[in-house]
Amino acid sequence: MSVEERLETARAWLRQDPDAETRDELAGLITRAASGDAAAIADLDDRFGTRLAFGTAGLRGALGAGSNRMNRVLVSQAAAGFAAYLLERSGGQTPTVVVGYDGRRNSRRFALDSAELFAGAGLRAILLPRLLPTPVLAFAVRHLGADAGVMVTASHNPPNDNGYKVYLGGAEEGSQIVAPADAEIAAHIQRTADAGDIAALPRSSGYEVAGEDIVDAYVAATAAVAPAPESARGLTWVYTAMHGVGWETLARILDAAGYPRPKTVFEQLNPDPTFRTVAFPNPEEPGAMDLAFAAGRRTRADFILANDPDADRLAVAIPDESAEGGWRRLSGNEIGLLLGARAARAAEGTAGASLACSLVSSPGLGVIAAHHGLDFHETLTGFKWISRAPGMVFGYEEALGYLVNPETVRDKDGISAAIAVLGLAAEARERDETLASLLADLGETYGHFASGQVSVRVDDLSIIGKVMLALRTLPPTRIGAVAVESVEDLLQAGAGQPSGDVLRYRLADGSRVIVRPSGTEPKLKVYLDAQASSAADATGVVAALEDGVRALLEERS
């Protein structure tokens, strides 16, 4: 596309943009590009060369003007397109859609635009009463018997991002969208965008605002996940909301379930769209939990719990003298296996009950399922797949996502997971045990598993495609010192197998390496898993694999 054509595209966007901030931003960029500024022309190409597309979590990207950014024009097009999709499949009935939002920049504005456009299109639109965790929106879709739900959030992404997560009700039971719905919705959105001016879209203030009874129902249902035993009174623990929306709802659930209030990381307790104390508001990122670790040291806490900003993920840390700072964050797999064993014990003997996890999560969950006579399902990454596993009583993914109450919420839920972990900790305390000793017990019962991850963040997404192509073209015969026994390319998966842009290597020592692009961030992710006769041996195998993977990626980059 020529510079003049790109400028005309940008000017057409500018004419329909209702947001003064992004209008000013784009107007300045157009002026600089029209004068021949190469950087401005490149910026316009990046903003308008493509559109944000539905991925693992619907729409998600940086805030700013343009079709490749999150803004009021794009959100309006998305809402109108989604409304058209819902009307098309409604069979003449009036679809109901629930809209929620978190504390990020523009989240409420995007939610209001969506509610007005849904109502203007003739849908029954229900806006949640205030900023709330993503799991409350997922719960509300099922609780209200809605046809769909939209949550405005970018979860744990960088501070300048926002997103648009879509759920379907009815037969989908409040799960996130999957194919072919994602492509069908995208086609409706594109038709809306092609029509031109969003000012021509009908809007209405006739949407409803949900009452507090929705939140009350979620609180009651989540408190029932693990009512506090008497031993819970002695727990000392620390909590951080990571500048997000989790604390208000969690605090109410703690009171309802009977758990003691935690020591909180005050600097991160309330919603703050600048996320001023962290570079990335993700408990997995280095440094994100440093304030929580400091609070744990000051209070001599038994453990630390952390939600991400929209509270759909949960991190857990335990005291560990060998770790820097005296605290160790448990891996998502360690938490997943703890919660999976809890669910398996409760479901043992239940016909058709199953455990489920993503294919990049620990193979230990399958061992736990077999031990207790349960079915096991391995899915593609993302809870839109995990939540659909038949008979699931528990599901998880290694990226700190857990589903402990599938009859209530069909998505990962960091708040209900926190209550389940509190229940485990309280029960362990009755036996003079800790979360650390529960992990050791898992190894003795089911075998010792260890996992690791190598992530490569890139500025140019094409690098990821080049690395994946290089690995497919010339598959490695060894990773580190260990021979590769088999290679599976899940782009060519057989019937009944998960299919996606994933490479899976099984090694001669029984370990496993999986490579895939991230669905939500500009990263290439490599997942490492090993099983051994002791925890130390399994950890050693993973450490050696990490070195081998880094060398392999450097060679193929």
Nearest to 472 by CA among 504, 495, 518, 509: 504
Q: Is the peptide bond before 180 cis (omega within 30 degrees of 0)?
A: yes
What would the DSSP string read from start to end of 103-146? SSTTHHHHHHHHHHHHHHTT-EEEE-SS---HHHHHHHHHHTT-
| Cα–Cα distance for residue pair 553/458, rounded to 1 Å | 13
| Cα–Cα distance for residue pair 421/441, rounded to 1 Å | 16
The secondary structure of the chain in percent helix, strand, coil, rounded to multiples of 5, reads: 45, 20, 35
| Cα–Cα distance for residue pair 497/52, rounded to 1 Å | 28
Structure tokens at 304: 């630390």
| Cα–Cα distance for residue pair 327/9, rounded to 1 Å | 52
The answer to whether 155 is a known catalytic residue is yes
| Cα–Cα distance for residue pair 405/382, rounded to 1 Å | 17
Catalytic hit among 76, 155, 175, 451: 155
Beta strands in 169-233 (DSSP E): 175-176, 208-209
Q: What is the 3-state secondary structure (H, E, C) of 501-513?
A: CCEEEEECCCCEE
Pair type for strands 175-176 and 354-358: unpaired
> Residue 58 in contact with residue 164, Cβ under 8 Å?
yes
Q: How many CA atoms lie within 13 A of 468 on its CB side?
A: 24
Helix (H, G, I), strand (E, B) or coil at 78: helix
Residue 145, C-beta contacts closer than 8 angstroms, at least 6 positions apart: 96, 169
Structure tokens at 60: 């998600």
> Residue 308 in contact with residue 244, Cβ under 8 Å?
yes
The set of catalytic residues is 155
